[in-house]
């Protein structure tokens, strides 16, 4: 469902333009060296395509608050490196044991489990180095805050914590909505939140602006996961670019398993509408990219 205010904003062109710039920056960020296998494995997954939603959100909020693309691009690349690490590790036999990601064989299927683990480790550590060494025209305190926020989002307070609870909940018959929300606000939502807030921090946003954007991010992050759960049931493996029905096979709690399909779709739509309203109220028409990206999350088919 598209907001009436979106009529003058061309999301398709916006996404294509930003994706092309992010792809070029990612390609340039890691060059092959010795030992060749680790760099090849890193690049294999990092450059495998995808929506590049996290980098684009970072660029969008930086520009919304008066910053420039060049200020935010190192952090945007770092976000995709961290996200790619999480996908490589998530696909491992010890985690979700998946053979396909983004329409191609998963990293461990090509390079082996040992190299895949190390490729993920290398991407994670390089992400922080990249922000620290490549960020330009941003004060040291803002850059340091972004580095700290990234660390928090990916560690035990964020992605890792959510993954731990997710693994512990597999096969459990009575997973509560509270636990499910915890899993996804940490496993998926924490990195989406810092994708939004980091761009604003780099641009010099004040605390109130960062808080508004964090609330927007929390809402679209939860909507994103609800839609993911719905698509795992309704979409084919070809549409998803990965194995469909994995949640059901792993006996994972999902939003449709608690609410049902239709109610889950309605919840996602309500979250997106609230997210859009909050940024439009605070930032006006300048928030159109964020409004359109929120719609994109709930309307996507893969």
Domains of the chain: 4-299 (1.10.600.10)
Residues 292-296: what's their mean pLDDT?
95
Q: What is the pLDDT of residues 116-139, one digit of tens each?
A: 999 999 999 999 999 999 999 999
Which residue reads 């926020």 in tokens?
A: 149
Using DSSP's 3-state secondary structure scheme, residue 10 falls into coil
CB atoms within 10 A of CB 252: 21
Average pLDDT, rounded, for the chain: 92
**Cα-only R_g, the chain:** 18
Q: What is the pLDDT of residues 135-179, one digit of tens each?
A: 999 999 999 999 999 999 999 999 999 999 999 998 888 899 999
pLDDT at 297: 87
d(CA 127, CA 7) in angstroms, rounded, equals 37
On the question of pLDDT at 97 being above 70, the answer is yes
Q: Which of 114, 155, 122, 97 is nearest to 46 (CA)?
A: 122
pLDDT at 138: 97
Q: What is the pLDDT of residues 72-86, one digit of tens each?
A: 999 999 999 999 999
On the question of pLDDT at 99 being above 50, the answer is yes
Which residue reads 């993911």 in tokens?
A: 228
Share of the chain above pLDDT 70, in %: 91
pLDDT at 1: 39
Using DSSP's 3-state secondary structure scheme, residue 101 falls into strand
pLDDT at 6: 45
pLDDT at 278: 96
Q: What is the pLDDT of residues 209-249, one digit of tens each?
A: 999 999 999 999 999 999 999 998 886 666 555 565 566 66
d(CA 187, CA 185) in angstroms, rounded, equals 6
pLDDT at 237: 63
On the question of pLDDT at 55 being above 60, the answer is yes
pLDDT at 133: 98
Q: What angle do CA 258, 260, 264 make, to 5 degrees?
A: 90
Q: Is 136 exposed, middle or buried (0-12, 13-18, 19+ CB in 10 A)?
A: exposed
**pTM across the whole model:** 0.92
């Amino acid at each position: 469902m598209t907001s009436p205010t979106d009529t003058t904003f061309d999301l398709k062109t916006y996404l294509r333009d930003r994706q092309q710039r992010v792809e070029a920056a990612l390609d340039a960020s890691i060059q092959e060296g010795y030992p060749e296998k680790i760099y090849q494995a890193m690049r294999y997954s990092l450059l495998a395509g995808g929506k590049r939603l996290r980098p684009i959100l970072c660029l969008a909020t930086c520009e919304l608050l008066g910053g420039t693309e060049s200020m935010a691009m190192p952090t945007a690349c770092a976000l995709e490196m961290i996200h790619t690490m999480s996908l490589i590790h998530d696909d491992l036999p010890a985690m979700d044991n998946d053979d396909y990601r983004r329409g191609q064989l998963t990293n461990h299927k090509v390079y082996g489990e040992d190299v895949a683990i190390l490729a993920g480790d290398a991407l994670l550590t390089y992400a922080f180095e990249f922000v620290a060494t490549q960020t330009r025209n941003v004060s040291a305190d803002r850059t340091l805050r972004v580095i700290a926020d990234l660390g928090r989002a990916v560690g035990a307070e964020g992605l890792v914590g959510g993954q731990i609870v997710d693994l512990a909940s597999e096969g459990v018959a009575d997973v509560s909505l509270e636990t499910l929300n915890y899993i996804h606000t940490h496993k998926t939502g924490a990195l989406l939140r810092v994708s939004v807030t980091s761009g604003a921090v780099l641009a010099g946003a004040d605390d109130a602006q960062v808080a508004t954007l964090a609330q927007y991010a929390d809402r679209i992050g939860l909507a994103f996961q609800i839609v993911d759960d719905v698509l795992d049931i309704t979409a084919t493996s070809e549409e998803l670019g990965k194995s469909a029905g994995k949640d059901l096979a792993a006996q994972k709690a999902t939003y449709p398993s608690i609410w049902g399909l239709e109610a889950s779709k309605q919840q996602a739509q309500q979250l997106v509408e609230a997210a859009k309203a909050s940024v439009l109220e605070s930032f006006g028409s300048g928030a159109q990219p964020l409004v359109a990206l929120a719609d994109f999350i709930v309307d996507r088919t893969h």
